[in-house]
Amino acid sequence: MIKHIVDDLYQIGESAIDQDGWCEAVRIYVALNDGHPLLFDAGSHIHRGQIMADLKELLGDAAPGHIFLTHTELPHTGNLSAILEAWPGTKFVVSSGILPHVEMPWWVKPEQIEYAHAGACHSYGSRQVSFSDAILKDQPGTQWMFDERTGSLFTGDAFGYLFPEACDRQFDDEMADGVPVDYFRRYHESAFRFLPMVSGDKVKADLAKVMAKRQVNVIAPTHGNAIRGDVPKHVARVNEALSEICQ
Amino acid sequence: MNVKIYGEGINRIGVRQITPQIYWICHCIGKDAEKHNGGFAADFARINPNIDPTANDINYNSYLFMDEKTLLIDTLGPAQHNTILEVLSDLLGERQLDYLWISHTELPHAANATAIRRQYPDLQLMAVGGHDHYEIHGLEDALLLDYGDELKLGEHEIEIIKPIFLDHALTQWLYERKTGFLCPVDWALMAQNEHQSFLFMDEMEATGYSPERFMHDVSITNCVVFAWLRWADPDQIAEAIDAFFAKYDIRIFAASHTQVIRKDVPAYLAALREAMRRAVTADYNLVY
């Protein structure tokens, strides 16, 4: 499923559905980047066929220049082998906090890995990507990335949401009233099991610092569709969900 | 020290016997750890002078129970995929691996599940229940366990327990009643230098280590492992630890990234409690 978000930024990837009809998205974000395409996360191995078909349609003759990994968990890296098989020259950008010999597939060569430090900003083709610590995460060595051209913040697991199948292909501005608080709550209480042990006010204060530091036009979670219509409204809804889950 | 070593560098695994029926299967790099692990100890030591600036190595531990039934805890990481199969062949001989328990689905813990299943096709894969969408984690046919579930291996009785410190949602801890063996997974991660590879914690003391040093190190490393601690309350954390220690008689502390603690356990548990209190109030130096 190829969805155009803004400018040269696209979303692909499929969803898994549970017995009760709730879906969990596993997205890849693709910036075409004037012939030096950038991928943010690599998608799930269970969606390999559709992901590769969509990537080839979207990229045409251009090979991905870099894949940025928010973290190395399987839903974010499961499709790496297929991407590397198709485009063996692709490089990876990972957090400086990971140890590749235990967190990257064994067949990835050390020279394919580039490390990003939180606080750094680097050029990739024609655009700048900056890196920060992931504020809400389920694995050490998780990073968030910010695309300076589109104002897109790639948040990995954070800002994800579960949704009914009818919403699978809808951005927030294509839904009647955006993404409901309940969808965010369902995902965050499931993905971040430590939240009931912490202060919601402290979590929200940290998220506010992230939003205050940059102009975020798009939030791009791996486990949800891009939020592009009304970012402040949806940050408020995530905060409301956190208030329900946390202390 | 009685250790059998397989492979070298990023493939290296050392095997030690904790009890006659429980083996510690440990990956750590040794002398090239600084090169492969980015020299993180020097970064820690710049702001924390008490940290050993040469402690660039981290353990990745699996454990094997050899009872009437056999159970493997976790699989080690991608680079150890061939070595772990060799280790299992050596330890198990003609026996089958009956159970593979995945503490959580991060690659350093679960990456070799497929390769191990290929070698032991009849094994039962086990993971935490109560979640959805297991297929994207590669666990679609795992036996899903609830906290409190029990598994009899023979003399050893495994209990699946709810973690008090976790990062990944699909995390569970494991306790064995006969030996007081606790696997608290990522809790208490520590680093060591090349001269401390494969040492039990009591043997570490000959290299200058101590419960006080453990307390200091874990109070720093666990800020990284459990970054959410900065949002927690130190007294609530201490209460949770006290309740946990009161409930379980821990005689072998066998975590995923810690030297195995088999002697003087109460002193190290007390140090661990204080380490977590300190971690809650530490400066996390986050980049927003």
Give the pLDDT confidence score for residue B247 in this predicted structure. Answer: 98
**Average pLDDT score over residue span A69-93:** 94
Strand partners, B19: B22
SS3 A219: strand
For testing the chain A interface, which of B57, B81, B147, B288 should be mutated: the one with the most A CBs within 10 Å? Answer: B288
**For residue A127, which of A65, A50, A174, A179 has the smallest C-alpha distance?**
A65
In this prediction, does ipTM exceed 0.90? yes
Contact between A93 and A173 (Cβ < 8 Å):
no
Domain count for chain A: 1
Strand partners, A163: A23
Exposure of B66 in the CB half-sphere (CA atoms within 13 A)? 17
DSSP B40-106: HHHHHHHH-TTS-TT--EE-EEEEEEESSSEEEE----GGGHHHHHHHHHHHHTTPPP-EEE-S--S
Structure tokens at B278: 């300190």
Kindly list the structural domains of chain B, giving each domain's residue range(s) and its CATH number in brackets, ordered by start: 4-287 (3.60.15.10)
Chain A partners of B137 at a C-beta cutoff of 8 Å?
73-75
Contact between B132 and A223 (Cβ < 8 Å):
no
- In this structure, what are the phi and psi dihedrals at residue B28, rounded to the nearest 5 degrees? -150, 155
For testing the chain A interface, which of B133, B220, B230, B276 should be mutated: the one with the most A CBs within 10 Å? Answer: B133
- With CB atoms and an 8 Å threshold, state whether A72 touches B106: yes
For testing the chain B interface, which of A194, A202, A213, A223 should be mutated: the one with the most B CBs within 10 Å? Answer: A194
Task: Tell me the per-residue pLDDT of A166-223, one tens digit each, with 9 for 90 and over.
Answer: 999 999 999 999 999 999 999 999 999 999 999 999 999 999 999 999 999 999 999 9
Q: Which residue type does B135 have?
A: E
Q: Is the pLDDT of residue A33 over 90?
A: yes
Inform me whether the C-beta atom of residue A202 falls under 8 Å from chain B C-beta atoms: yes
Give the pLDDT confidence score for residue B41 in this predicted structure. Answer: 85
> A47 is in which domain, residue-wise?
2-245
Contact between B274 and B216 (Cβ < 8 Å):
no
pLDDT tens, N- to C-terminus, chain B (288 residues): 899 999 999 999 999 999 999 999 999 999 999 999 888 887 777 767 778 899 999 999 999 999 999 999 999 999 999 999 999 999 999 999 999 999 998 889 999 999 999 999 999 999 988 877 888 888 888 999 999 999 999 999 999 999 999 999 889 999 999 999 999 999 999 999 999 999 999 999 998 899 999 999 999 999 989 999 999 999 999 999 999 999 999 999 999 999 999 999 999 999 999 999 999 999 888 999
Contact between B254 and B18 (Cβ < 8 Å):
yes
**CATH number of the domain that A118 lies in?**
3.60.15.10
Strand partners, B94: none
Chain A partners of B111 at a C-beta cutoff of 8 Å?
102, 105
Give the pLDDT confidence score for residue A52 in this predicted structure. Answer: 97
Strand partners, B128: B145
Does pTM top 0.90 for this prediction?
Answer: yes
Smallest CA–CA distance from A120 into chain B, residue: B287
SS3 A94: strand
DSSP B119-183: HSTTPEEEEE-S-S-GGGGT-TTPEEE-TT-EEE-SS-EEEEE--SS-SSSS--EEEETTTTEEE
Contact between A94 and A69 (Cβ < 8 Å):
yes
Give the pLDDT confidence score for residue B138 in this predicted structure. Answer: 82
Q: Give me the sign of the Cα torsion angle B174, B177, B180, B181.
A: negative
Burial track A74-111 (b if 16+ CB lie within 10 A, e otherwise): bbbbbbbebbbeebeebbbbbbbbbbbbbbbbbebeee
**For residue B74, which of B100, B41, B96 has the smallest C-alpha distance?**
B100
- With CB atoms and an 8 Å threshold, state whether A206 touches B286: yes
Beta strands in chain A (DSSP E): 3-6, 9-17, 22-31, 38-40, 66-68, 91-95, 113-116, 121-124, 127-133, 143-147, 152-156, 162-164, 218-221
Inform me whether the C-beta atom of residue B257 falls under 8 Å from chain A C-beta atoms: no
In the block, tokens 């990537």 appear at A55
- With CB atoms and an 8 Å threshold, state whether B108 touches A193: no
In the block, tokens 């959410």 appear at B228
Task: Tell me the per-residue pLDDT of A104-132, one tens digit each, with 9 for 90 and over.
Answer: 988 899 899 999 999 999 999 999 999 99
Give the pLDDT confidence score for residue B115 in this predicted structure. Answer: 93
Q: Which of residues 6-35 of B touch A (CB under 8 A)?
A: 10, 27, 29
Give the pLDDT confidence score for residue A22 in this predicted structure. Answer: 95
